[in-house]
A = this chain, B = another copy of it.
Amino acid sequence: MNIALLFEEDLISTDTAVLTDRRLRHLQQVRDIKLGDQISVGQVNGLLGEATITELAPDSAKLSISWSKQPPAPLPVTLIIALPRPKMVKRIIQTVTTMGVKQLYFINSYKVEKSFWQSPWLTEAKLLENVVLGLEQAMDTQLPTIHLRKRFKPFVEDELPEIAKDSLRLVAHPSNNQNCPIQVEQQTTLAIGPEGGFIPYEVEKLESCGFTPVSLGDRILRTETAVPVLLSKLF
């Protein structure tokens, strides 16, 4: 937690907040904060700042905040990932949020097991929890939006053309395709398949929507590794 992310309900005025819950426990247990200490904070979808602890009780801390700067720029990417197995979902959300992704679609694919869609990590509360952890790690304040799309074909046919409009469209697909381009510096829509990859039908559907298959070389990476690798090659 490199910042404490503050929600509207934490603020009692524009520059005063009361901190409770997980964020306070972290500051007490990991950082051992004292009255008068300074901590870094951010307001959801707002500025970053420095806060002084002006009151401290076991279950709450009052902060006096000096808002100072904009959060880091987002990555110009919309990320589309075939829903990974539940234990990976949490990590991938945190990773992509930390790296600055603001639009994330989890979609279905032939090789996505149906049970994955029942994952407790996909509830609204759990999605938000992991997004917040990612923002706090990155010292970012801008909440990403996570979309869940349980049907591949309607998503690609009806929604994707508008989502990907005017962007560079890439689908990561291990094979003899061209290598992933480097530092493209343009709005990009990036699709990443499940473990085992998209099936040929799915790649064809994406190609007919303007996507170009790109490869990361001979090594087959897990989704959780492929995501940061692709994002750091592209941007």
Flag A113-140 by CB within 8 Å of B: 1 or 0 each: 0000000000000000000000001111
- Give Cα A221–Cα B225 distance, bound, in whole angstroms: 14
Tell me which residues from 197 to 230 in chain A have a Cβ below 8 Å from any Cβ of chain B: 217-222, 225, 228-229
Among A137, A139, A219, A222, the most chain B Cβ lie within 10 Å of the Cβ of A219
Q: With A72-B217, A217-B72, A219-B72 in contact, do A98 and B225 touch (Cβ < 8 Å)?
A: yes
Q: Are A137 and B98 in contact (CB under 8 A)?
A: no
- A183 shortest CB reach to chain B, Å: 7
- A96 shortest CB reach to chain B, Å: 10
- Give Cα A139–Cα B216 distance, bound, in whole angstroms: 13
Q: Are A219 and B182 in contact (CB under 8 A)?
A: no
Among A2, A100, A183, A232, the most chain B Cβ lie within 10 Å of the Cβ of A232
Hey, which chain B residues are within 8 Å of A222, CB to CB? 95, 98, 137
Q: Are B220 and A138 in contact (CB under 8 A)?
A: yes
A147 at interface, CB cutoff 8 A:
no
A83 at interface, CB cutoff 8 A:
no
A6 at interface, CB cutoff 8 A:
no
Residue pairs across A and B with Cβ atoms less than 8 A apart, 20 shown, are A72-B218, A72-B219, A95-B222, A98-B219, A99-B219, A99-B221, A99-B225, A99-B229, A100-B219, A137-B221, A137-B222, A138-B220, A139-B218, A139-B220, A225-B228, A228-B228, A228-B232, A229-B229, A229-B231, A232-B233
Please give 5 more A-B residue pairs, beta carbons under 8 A apart, in addition to A139-B218, A232-B232, A232-B233.
Answer: A2-B220, A72-B219, A98-B222, A139-B219, A233-B233
